[in-house]
Amino acid sequence: MAMSAEEEIPAMAQHYLVCGTEDCKRNCQFYCNPCHQRLCERCRDEHQESPDTKDHEVVPYKQRKPQLPEEKCNIHPKRNVEILCKECNVPLCAKCIFMIEHTGHQLDDLEEKYAEKVAFCRSEISKIQEYYLSTSQGLKKEIKEDVMEIKKTMDDIRNSIKAEAESLKELVDRVTSDKLEQANKIEETLLKTLNLQEKTYEDYTEYLEKLLKEFHRYKSITNFRVLFSEDFDKLKIQSIPETTQLVLPVFTAGQFYKDDVSKLLGSVNFPNTKPYNRRIKPMETASTQLKLTGKQMRRDAEKSDVKQKLSLSSSVTKVREYTVPGVGRVYHISLGKSGRLWFSDDRRNLVQTDLQGNQLQKIQTSGGYGYHTVTQDGDLIYTDRKNKVINKIKQDNTVTEFIRTEDWEPISIHSSHINRDLLVGMIKGREAKVTRYNKTGKEIQNIQRDNKGQKLYGYPHYITENINGDICTSDFNKDALVVVNKSGQHRFSYTGQGSIFIPYGICTDLLGHIIVCNGYHGNRTLDIIDQDGQFLSLLLTQQQGIRPCCVCVDDQSHLHVGQSNTNTATVYKYLQ
């Protein structure tokens, strides 16, 4: 029996999808619509070569038509309904069509109509998830950004008002100082004039005192003949010297009012621009998150062509192996531009190499697990859990503090290739969350609990994003791979195929596969599941001599696997 539409993606999807042919245990990749049978690649070829089924429609499994659920006819309970009366719009069994009330009515294959309805539902679900929800969330995000922008703008205006007032105060102080200096000079000039006048009268007083002594001397002399001498005749009192009475300055007060001061200062006004409606992207362009250049569009087209040609291989092939210098073990890998790779270990070493494993640079950090990522611009971003900051290293090797996370300790980070956002796994005491920042470092989303109020995370030490916008985290405390959609709603949790699952490094590929390392020492594996949580296969197992701790997929869709016990990385081909 095929799954119904409601059962298509279980909440805790971990089903091993196998071929439906008897005794065949290989992975299912195809589906026969007429037979409603799952097929692997080999069984598909046999199915299409058989004379009985060579004309059957065989499609990739995800493009299958749903099988009509088995339902008994109300009138003929021993028969299943399989025909639709178009005019009555009711399902019928093969016997019902001969009833008189359906005579001459147009009939349709109920399974075909059911498939059309399910396809319509899928299409509408896809529209809601991919366009309506994301677009409305984008508009909501835009409004939040506008709120922040308004606050910033008004803060700038307030600062400008204060700065202008300070400037006016400073100007008033300068003018006041000039006027006081002018008053000081006037006072100095007046005092100097008065001092000279005072000196004039001091000199005249001294002259009078000398003259007075002379007259006293002549008055007391006994020889009166002296009084008739020429010297006596010369004694005459000089007139009192004249001086001017100074005019004192007066202060003429200025006349100014509040309006006069207000005119001197700037004002807050709205520009002569009408508000415009927020732009709602047309549905056909909603999937384009960034304005692409011609070169980017060609690159995306090439990726699309590659994606259509790729599929999961039935076996994994080792391509090469290289030693990573400068680290003791390989705990995390970040893929940079031009094939450059960043590796880190458990000893705070962070090393950049080329694809041949040659060391290009090395820095010391606070360490961690999935604590670094590379942006599309080629900048390395890494978390500093101890100081609760996120740092950025540009391509010119300048290090800047990018984001402060306040009370939260950032332990994992991923730079989105969809919209350039940063996804950061953080902890605080017993709380944990995933925070989304935009490319400028503004916090725009926090994901902490599901719709029932339950904690989604315990210790999200590795984080990545899938091609559909899902946020995938390896949670050490939950022993699970936790997946939420771009809005933060819980989709599913994957808990491995064995009795114990301890998720470590995680990545996704062009096909939406999620690849995760199981670090349980008794059963180390590399698991691959699809974007809906369906288990596909174990890419690698402990029996193959691996101890996988971290993974990444490069531009050639090759898988790089870092080992937890050595400083080696192994490259595998797993797609065909």
Q: The domain spanning residue 489 has which CATH number?
A: 2.120.10.30
Q: What is the pLDDT of residues 392-409, one digit of tens each?
A: 998 778 889 999 999 999
Burial class (CB in 10 A: 0-12, 13-18, 19+), 54: exposed
144 token code pair: 């939040």
Task: Specify the 3-state DSSP secondary structure of 136.
Answer: helix
Q: Are 109 and 131 within one domain?
A: no
325, pLDDT greater than 60:
yes
Sheet holding 525-529, edge to edge: 503-508, 514-518, 525-529, 535-541
User: To which residue do tokens 């069509």 refer?
Assistant: 97
Segment among 217-226, 232-241, 339-348 with least mean pLDDT: 217-226
The distance of Cα 538 from the centroid of its chain, to the nearest Å, equals 33
Please report whether residue 22 resides in a domain.
no
Structure tokens at 544: 């193959």
Domain termination residue (choose one: 264, 287, 322) = 264
User: Tokens at residue 454, please?
Assistant: 């339950």
Is pLDDT of 517 > 90? yes
- What pLDDT is recorded for position 447? 94
pLDDT value at 196 more than 80: yes
- Please tell me whether residues 493 and 369 are part of one structural domain: yes
Alpha carbon distance 14, 491 (integer Å): 13
Residue 371, in any domain of the structure: yes
User: If you search the block for the tokens 């000893």, which residue do you land on?
Assistant: 347
> Could you tell me if 86 and 176 lie in one domain?
no
Q: How far is CA 316 from the centre of its chain?
A: 35
SS3 514: strand
User: What tokens were used for 132?
Assistant: 């309506």
- 311: region left, alpha or beta (phi > 0 left; psi from -120 to 50 alpha): beta
Residue at 7: amino acid letter? E
Whether 218 maps to a domain, the answer reads: yes
Question: Does 99 share its domain with 190?
Answer: no
Q: Identify the pLDDT of residue 288.
A: 43
- Residue 256, both tokens: 């100014």
Higher pLDDT, 515 or 35: 515
pLDDT > 90: percent of the chain: 49
Looking at the fold, whether 220 and 186 belong to one and the same domain comes out as: yes
Sign of CA dihedral 486, 513, 8, 483: negative
Q: What angle do CA 295, 298, 303 make, to 5 degrees?
A: 125
What does the pLDDT read at residue 222?
80
Average pLDDT, the chain: 87
For residues 75 and 134, state if they share a domain.
Answer: no
CATH label of the domain that carries residue 95: 3.30.160.60
Q: 3-class SS at 260?
A: helix
Task: Return the H-helix or E-strand segment holding 169.
Answer: helix 133-220
Task: Give the integer Cα–Cα distance in Å for 1 and 351.
Answer: 52
Q: Which pLDDT band, with edges at 50, 70 and 90, does 10 fall under?
A: very low
Q: Name residue, tokens 């202008």.
A: 164
pLDDT at 14: 43
Residue 15 domain-assigned? no
State pLDDT tens for residues 28-43.
989 998 888 999 999 9
pLDDT surpassing 50 at residue 5: no
Cα dist from 86 to 94, 105, 106, whole Å: 15, 7, 6
Q: Which of 113, 147, 169 is the last residue of a domain?
A: 113
pLDDT in tens, 45-66: 999 999 999 999 898 888 888 8
What is the helix (H) or strand (E) element at residue 118, kind and residue range? helix 110-127
Q: Name the burial class of residue 143, with classes exposed (0-12), middle (13-18) and buried (19+) by CB atoms within 10 angstroms of its CB.
A: exposed
Given a contact cutoff of 8 angstroms between Cβ atoms, the answer to whether 463 and 508 are in contact is no
Is the pLDDT at 567 greater than 80? The verdict is yes
**Residues 76-114 pLDDT 10s:** 998 989 999 998 999 999 899 889 888 889 898 888 888
Residue whose structure tokens are 């692409």 = 292
Tell me the per-residue pLDDT of 157-168, one tens digit each, with 9 for 90 and over. 898 888 888 888
Among candidate residues 62, 111, 114, 105, the one with its CA nearest the CA of residue 85: 105
**Three-state SS at 358:** coil
One domain, residues 45 and 129: no
pLDDT at 455: 93
Whole-angstrom distance, CA of residue 537 vs CA of residue 16: 8
- Cα dihedral sign for 233, 235, 239, 241? positive
Q: What is the rounded radius of gyration, in angstroms, for the C-alpha atoms of the chain?
A: 45
Does 360 fall in a domain? yes
Helices (H), 221-336: 230-233, 258-264, 294-309
Same domain, 199 and 346: no
Distance (Å, rounded) from C-alpha 477 to C-alpha 363? 29
Range of the domain at 200: 114-264
Number of domains the chain contains: 3
Q: Which of residues 85, 113, 141 is at a domain's end?
A: 113
| pLDDT surpasses 80 at 7 | no
Would the pTM of this model clear 0.85, i.e. be above it?
no
Same domain, 467 and 329: yes
552 occurs within a structural domain: yes
pLDDT at 398: 83
Residue 280, in any domain of the structure:
no
Confidence of residue 8 (pLDDT cuts 50, 70, 90): very low
Please check whether residues 557 and 481 belong to one and the same domain.
yes
Shared domain for 84 and 100, answered yes or no, is yes
Residue 68 maps to a domain: yes
Token readout for 389 is: 């900051």
Would you place residue 526 in the very low, low, confident or very high pLDDT band (cuts 50, 70, 90)? very high
Q: Are residues 55 and 146 in the same domain?
A: no
